[in-house]
Amino acid sequence: MSIAASGASEGRSMKDKTTSLTDAVAVLADGMTIGIGGWGSRRKPMALVHAILETQVRDLTVVSFGGPDVGMLCAAGKVREVVFGFVSLDSIPYDPNFTRARQDGAITVRELDEGMVVAGLRAAAQRLPFLPIRAGLGSDVLTYYPGIRTVRSPYPDENGDDGEELVAMPALNLDVAFVHLNRADAHGNACYLGPDPYFDDLFCLAARVRVVSCEQIVSTAELAAAAPPQALLLNRMMVDAVVEAPGGAGFTSCVPDYGRDEAAQRAYAEAASA
Amino acid sequence: MSDFTRAEVCAVACADLFADDGEILASPMGTMPLIGARLARLTSNPDLLISDGEAYLLAETPPIGGTAPLEGWLPYGKVFDVVAAGTRHVVMGANQIDRFGNQNISCLGPHEKPTRQMFGARGAPGNSVNHRTSYWVAKHASRVFVASVDFASGVGYDRASGAAGRFHDVHRVVTNLAVLDFDTPDHAMRIASVHPGVTVEQVQEQTGFPLVVPDDVPTTREPSDEELKLLREVLDPKDIRGKEVPA
């Protein structure tokens, strides 16, 4: 079943975009580029990641502020390339599965400055081919990204000299984005209740198909009452599918619903190191 | 107080990194820089902005592991705006650092198949070309201070040309042995001071390239009584600093 078909409007009511984890990941095909929300080991859509592990899909390109999502997908042989600024479990510095995949040469990487990842997602969100950024200049991020170009400002600087030559960060266009929020309604509006939205809105804006899992699906009225309006990070035109997945970020943190399950994370890291 | 530990000298040297920064965001990575930033706010630079390491700016200065009332909200998205605006001083760690201040936190060995994968470049490329950047190395050793880094995550002086040089400002490297800076004609790393009880020879011995050594190498300043009291009674009563730099 496709997400588009499941979201058809009926009569005069808004689309109901609720679906299951299994159906939500059925949109994936070999070779797709996916974006995964959250940051490190925080508010990662782990239920959706586990659902991806159950599929036959391969050769994914994964764009992520990486945590165990990246490690698990690498360990399961789902990944061709990781586009990343870092992969870390926060309280444990490195993800052993990602470490092994790199040291075995099992995956390729596009290593970027974190700000370049943001710029690439923002370019995709704005339907621009690139955005200029200073980050990356002088570093080996450019050395190991042969396709990347610089762009000279068409405007002279304050002294009348040629403008600066900056990195032209290409758009990171995503086929599918997966994010996990605290609350959502059936139409795709969603809010975060913790301290940081991370870049989940940008991942959705950069993607063709946008999948949101959440701790709880509530009515639109309950959603609006759950948090200040500023915390309504996603609106329904940014979302194609909504999955209720209580605990769906675990073992990563999803405050205030739950913190990181450090024991479970340690167990993951130890098993991955074995 | 005349008795102080090496860790306390390091904490004060880290605090001194921020002394002249004024009203900007301190972003200390690691325990000793964190203690240093908080000590600076309680002494030399009360205007410094400090965060809880997540999304909040703190109105007061809590002990390590403690909390404090908020004065602002600075989620990651806004941190990148601060990086681009330049009102920030980051103190990062370094798995490798070379004589021009290029820093590696990405990987060791060939990039396509590293012998050791670390964090990745993180924000180091952007930090180092946008605002003041310092480094903290808890164990000064020649495997860290290398002739040439395997991957330049943070940008050093020899790579900071053109637009990369416009706001480039690698300030100091603080280690368990010394404070190093780049105040030389070609911005090669120099011994700015050696910690009390450490010799220039010891520092050079643990460094994998020749350091610039001034005729008179000063000794890193000793903590004041006020600083020792703040470290021991307010900021770090559990002596976490002493675990990072053992006596």
The answer to whether A23 and A44 are in contact (CB under 8 A) is: no
Cross-chain CB nearest to B75 (options A137, A140, A197): A197
Would residue B69 count as lying in a domain? yes
Taking the CA of residue B64 and the nearest CA in chain A, the distance in Å comes to 16
Cross-chain CB nearest to B75 (options A66, A113, A196): A196
Would residue B1 count as lying in a domain? no
Would residue B247 count as lying in a domain? no
Would residue B246 count as lying in a domain? no
Q: Is A259 on the interface with B (CB under 8 A)?
A: no
Query: What residues does B107 pair with on adjacent strands?
Result: B117
Q: In terms of DSSP bridges, do strands B169-175 and B178-181 run parallel, antiparallel, or are they unpaired? A: antiparallel
**How many domains does one find in chain B?**
1
Distance CA B55, CA A42 (A): 12
Distance CA B114, CA B12 (A): 36
Q: Is B29 on the interface with A (CB under 8 A)?
A: no
Q: Which segments within chain A are labelled E, that is strand? A: 33-36, 60-66, 79-87, 108-111, 130-133, 149-152, 165-170, 174-184, 190-191, 207-217, 241-244
Would residue B41 count as lying in a domain? yes
Taking the CA of residue A22 and the nearest CA in chain B, the distance in Å comes to 31
Q: What is the pLDDT of residue A274?
A: 86
What does the pLDDT look like over B54-98, one tens digit per residue?
999 999 999 999 999 999 999 999 999 999 999 999 999 999 999
Q: Is A111 on the interface with B (CB under 8 A)?
A: yes
pLDDT under 70: residue ranges of chain A: 1-11
Element (H, E) at B186: none
Q: Is B154 on the interface with A (CB under 8 A)?
A: yes
Q: Is A82 on the interface with B (CB under 8 A)?
A: no
Q: Is B93 on the interface with A (CB under 8 A)?
A: no
Cross-chain CB nearest to A166 (options B117, B120, B163): B163
Q: How many CB pairs under 8 A join A and B?
A: 138
The answer to whether B202 and B217 are in contact (CB under 8 A) is: no
The answer to whether B84 and A137 are in contact (CB under 8 A) is: no
B164/A138 touch (CB, cutoff 8 Å), yes or no: yes
Which chain B positions have a beta carbon within 8 Å of A256's beta carbon?
none
Q: What is the pLDDT of residue A158?
A: 85
Would residue B72 count as lying in a domain? yes
What does the pLDDT look like over B23-49, one tens digit per residue?
999 999 999 999 999 999 999 999 999
Q: Is B161 on the interface with A (CB under 8 A)?
A: yes
Query: What residues does A148 pair with on adjacent strands?
Result: none
Q: What angle do CA A189, A39, A109 make, to 5 degrees?
A: 115
Q: Is B65 on the interface with A (CB under 8 A)?
A: no
Distance CA A121, CA A199 (A): 9
Q: Is A165 on the interface with B (CB under 8 A)?
A: yes
Q: What angle do CA B30, B31, B37 make, to 5 degrees?
A: 95
Q: What is the pLDDT of residue A1?
A: 44
CATH class of domain segment(s) A3-7+17-129+172-247: alpha beta
Query: What residues does B25 pair with on adjacent strands?
Result: B49, B88
How far is CA B43 from its chain centroid? 18
Q: Is A145 on the interface with B (CB under 8 A)?
A: no
Q: How many CB atoms lie within 10 A of CB B243?
A: 11
How many Cα atoms occupy the beta-carbon half-sphere of B179 within 13 Å? 24
pLDDT under 50: residue ranges of chain B: 1
The answer to ipTM > 0.90 is: yes
Taking the CA of residue A10 and the nearest CA in chain B, the distance in Å comes to 38
What CATH number has the domain bearing residue B221? 3.40.1080.10
Among A139, A152, A193, most B C-beta atoms within 10 A, so best to mutate, is: A139
> Which amino acid type is present at position B172?
R
Cross-chain CB nearest to A115 (options B123, B161, B164): B123
A113/B118 touch (CB, cutoff 8 Å), yes or no: no
